[in-house]
Chain A
Amino acid sequence: MLEVLNLSKSFDNTQALDDVSFKVLPGDVFALLGPNGAGKTTTMRLLMHILKPDEGEILYKKEPRSKLKRNLFGYLPEERGLYQRAKVLDLLAYVGVLNRLSHHRAEIEAIRYLDKLGLVDYTQKKVGELSKGMQQKIQFIIAMLHDPDILILDEPFAGLDPVNQMVLRDIVYENKKEGKIIILSTHQMSEVEIMADHILLLNQGRTILEGTLEEIKSRFKENAFYLESEDNIAAIRDIKDIKIIEEHNQSCKFAINGKDITKDKVIQTIFQKIPVKKFIEVEPSLNEIFIKLVQNGTGKSSKKS
């Protein structure tokens, strides 16, 4: 288990991170969310030990970060820079040996990954000759080549076409299955909803939301429902104890209003009056929660107690 305890970091006069804590279990995909400048990259750099925290500590298997071997971690930085003149295989082997692989082993692993990502024909090409997407895949390989326990991926899918996104997502899944800790940051909420087990929303260096995807969604549930019928649904207006949020000819969205009334009772009433085609409980999208939280409160921690 990776534990982050009360992490704080400031640069000059800016508080980049303020008392951030979280835990990640093996096999979990942990998503760091937040607007630009929220402290996601700083958190990742602290995890990678590129920066040192002003306060707080990072523990993995109860060992402090400074005692851990660097090659337990794999990092895909947000900034996509590579040696443009180096040959693909040479570059991968170089990073491999830095991470305690033998040169031979590093080359074998590199070729294995290149093959997996459809780049095996490019081993002797210079990095600068590859497309942007290909270079991003190379960086992905750099992060994973040495088989680290913890993968830290900063905006891993940004700027990739859907097909490549899918290829890389599959690799992340594979790592998840192998019981690795995966921490990623992204702006794409849809991505998070598909992949993440656990979410941490940062804003201005502070945690404003943390929990599993289900927990968060249930917490932000508005007790709202969506109804679709084959007929006109005007009859819905007659039902007490509900508040109609949106109404169209054959569909509507409503919330249960009354205090005494239960969900089941309302449903029963509705089913009696209207021929229902589709009836679902509306969950707030992560995107909505994100925007709501970031816009509303900057400082207020709505952390689960």
Chain B
Amino acid sequence: MRNIFYIAQWEFSSRFKTRSFLFSTFILPILFSLLITLPVYLITYEDTVSTKLIGLINNDDNDLLEKLQNHLNQNYKLDSGSPEYIILPISVENSLLYKEAYDDFMTTTRQLDSLEVAYDDLKTLREKYYRSGTIQNKQYLLKKSYDELIRTREFKDLVQLDFEYYKTHLDSIYNKEARVAADSLLIQNILNAYLVIPKMVYRSSSIEYHSLKPGELLDSERMQKILNEVIIQSRLQEASVNTMQISHWLKPVKLTRYQLRTGGSAEWDFYIEFYGAVIGVVLLFMAIFTSGQFLFSSVLQEKTNRVIEILLSYASSRQIMAGKIFGLGFLGLMQVLIWLSITSIFVFFNLFQAGQIPYLNAENALYFLHYFSLGYLLYAAIFVAIGAIFSSEQEAQQVNIMLRTIAVLPVLLVFLFLKEPDSGIITFLSYIPLLTPYFMILKIAQYGIPLSTEIYITSAILIVSIIGMVFIAAKIFRIGILMYGKKFTVREVFLLLRSS
């Protein structure tokens, strides 16, 4: 026991002040947190410095432009107070095709107008004939004007058809040419995006949003929200609903998600849940692998520089192994405690609203320590065995990378996890000892209520695996540590385990 303590103390103190420990304790978590939170920050706060131009191709005859602009002005303003979005109707007046179509359309319109005037005149004339009792040839005149009226109407109907045709033509030309113009404005980066409003938009409710980067959700989601408001409002206005009433009816509902937790419900926020979980898992990963790495290189180094012979002279292989595992485990514990203290400072002074993040509580800190300890012991036994089997850092590194890949799996599965934390696959994965600690940290952050059964089961799984793995590692360590320059095959390791 005494020697275990001294070896542990030596391993701890010879690593505690090293640059790599300080780096992975203080710098790495900051870098990592920045790395994952920065994109979100940028998505939310980017580009608010300048006004954005949104093009509008309106195929409907309505006052959407004005309404849209008003709503946008009310909702989105730059810091300077000027509107964030300006709606720009796309003009096609320079297009020859459009000009021709427009001329045809205008000619027909004028023709139709004059026919309508003529028709109305005839109707007025016939009314006059009809009412006048003194007029001569009344019957004849009525008959003649009736023929005229019919003829004019027929002609008018025909021209009306023409008119319809030219109007449709003009609209489609406008639609086509406006898109060409808007596209070129997009490419020149004059427009941020443009909207295409179809005919009878109040009925169809389908609007196109064009941009170079439709993945930029912020603008398109805002447009959708505003268009929704504007169009529903217009529909209600068409139904002659009082404007005051409309704004009352359309007052948006804000949905706040609450989650049942011990100590009451707490507001649920996707970003906090998501990034909290990821940061938790990655910190656990970093803690386990920082100490694990030290352990691994310590074993490997002593094997390569043969210090192990001196150690084995004065301590048993079990004492050495236990001393190393505990010493470096304590180092990892130290790292976790440093992080927990920093976190509790955040919570205490409520920096970044940390006080409102529900899973940052003392109970979960204990769970974190619990799963760190168990996870570390399991990985430590594996690292000791690998360090003892291999005789060069290079060879051992390959296995190390494989282990890391396995351990980082939960981080990759976070999305799957958040979507359905109770799914069979997640439960299954969380019972695989190498992954258990990570999944449990995810689960504990996710659920407010205690998962006692789950915690008992996973702890039992881990403890059994640790005992088994330590047993195997001790055997491998005892023999492997003195085999210099020899590369073990899987079969040899297996035989070694069976024989001893």
- Contact status A98-B6, CB under 8 Å: yes
* Chain B residues near A83 (CB-CB < 8 A): 14, 307
A73 sits at the interface (CB 8 A)? yes
Main secondary structure of the interface of B (DSSP, over half): helix
- Contact status B313-A81, CB under 8 Å: no
B312 sits at the interface (CB 8 A)? yes
The 0/1 profile, CB within 8 Å of B marked 1, for residues 83-117 of chain A is 11110000000110111100000000000000000
B10 sits at the interface (CB 8 A)? yes
Which residues of chain B have a CB within 8 Å of any CB of chain A?
Answer: 2-3, 6-7, 10, 14, 302, 304-307, 309-315, 482
The docked-state distance in angstroms from the alpha carbon of A139 to that of B312 is 14
From B323, which residue of chain A is reached at the shortest CB distance?
A98
How many A-B contacts if CB must be within 8 Å?
57
Mind listing 24 A-B residue pairs with CB under 8 Å? A45-B309, A45-B482, A48-B309, A48-B312, A48-B313, A50-B482, A70-B313, A74-B313, A75-B309, A75-B313, A77-B306, A77-B313, A79-B306, A79-B309, A80-B306, A81-B302, A81-B304, A81-B306, A81-B307, A81-B309, A83-B14, A84-B305, A86-B14, A98-B6
| Chain A: minimal CB distance from B243 (Å) | 79
From B481, which residue of chain A is reached at the shortest CB distance?
A50
From B3, which residue of chain A is reached at the shortest CB distance?
A98
Q: With A50-B482, A85-B14, A86-B14 as given contacts, are A95 and B314 in contact (CB-CB < 8 Å)?
A: yes
* Chain B residues near A77 (CB-CB < 8 A): 306, 309-310, 313
Q: With A50-B312, A70-B315 as given contacts, are A82 and B307 in contact (CB-CB < 8 Å)?
A: yes
Which residues of chain A have a CB within 8 Å of any CB of chain B?
Answer: 45, 48-51, 70-71, 73-75, 77, 79-86, 94-95, 97-100, 139, 142
* Chain B residues near A80 (CB-CB < 8 A): 306
Q: With A77-B306, A81-B306, A82-B305 as given contacts, are A98 and B14 in contact (CB-CB < 8 Å)?
A: no
- Contact status B313-A73, CB under 8 Å: yes
* Chain B residues near A142 (CB-CB < 8 A): 310
The docked-state distance in angstroms from the alpha carbon of A75 to that of B308 is 12
The docked-state distance in angstroms from the alpha carbon of A138 to that of B482 is 22
From A47, which residue of chain B is reached at the shortest CB distance?
B313
Q: With A94-B10, A98-B3, A98-B6 as given contacts, are A81 and B305 in contact (CB-CB < 8 Å)?
A: yes
User: Most chain-A Cβ atoms within 10 A of its Cβ — which of B14, B310, B315?
Assistant: B310
From B315, which residue of chain A is reached at the shortest CB distance?
A98
Main secondary structure of the interface of A (DSSP, over half): loop
* Chain A residues near B307 (CB-CB < 8 A): 81-83
- Contact status B313-A50, CB under 8 Å: yes
| Chain B: minimal CB distance from A4 (Å) | 17
| Chain B: minimal CB distance from A156 (Å) | 14
- Contact status A97-B306, CB under 8 Å: no
* Chain B residues near A82 (CB-CB < 8 A): 305, 307
From B15, which residue of chain A is reached at the shortest CB distance?
A85
- Contact status B482-A51, CB under 8 Å: yes
| Chain B: minimal CB distance from A118 (Å) | 22
* Chain B residues near A98 (CB-CB < 8 A): 3, 6-7, 311, 314-315
The docked-state distance in angstroms from the alpha carbon of A51 to that of B481 is 11
| Chain A: minimal CB distance from B356 (Å) | 45
User: Most chain-B Cβ atoms within 10 A of its Cβ — which of A71, A79, A82, A84?
Assistant: A79
- Contact status B305-A94, CB under 8 Å: no
* Chain B residues near A94 (CB-CB < 8 A): 6, 10
* Chain B residues near A49 (CB-CB < 8 A): 313
User: Most chain-B Cβ atoms within 10 A of its Cβ — which of A45, A73, A80, A83?
Assistant: A83
* Chain B residues near A139 (CB-CB < 8 A): 310
- Contact status A50-B6, CB under 8 Å: no
5 pairs of A and B residues whose beta carbons are closest in the complex: A81-B305, A79-B306, A81-B306, A77-B309, A75-B313
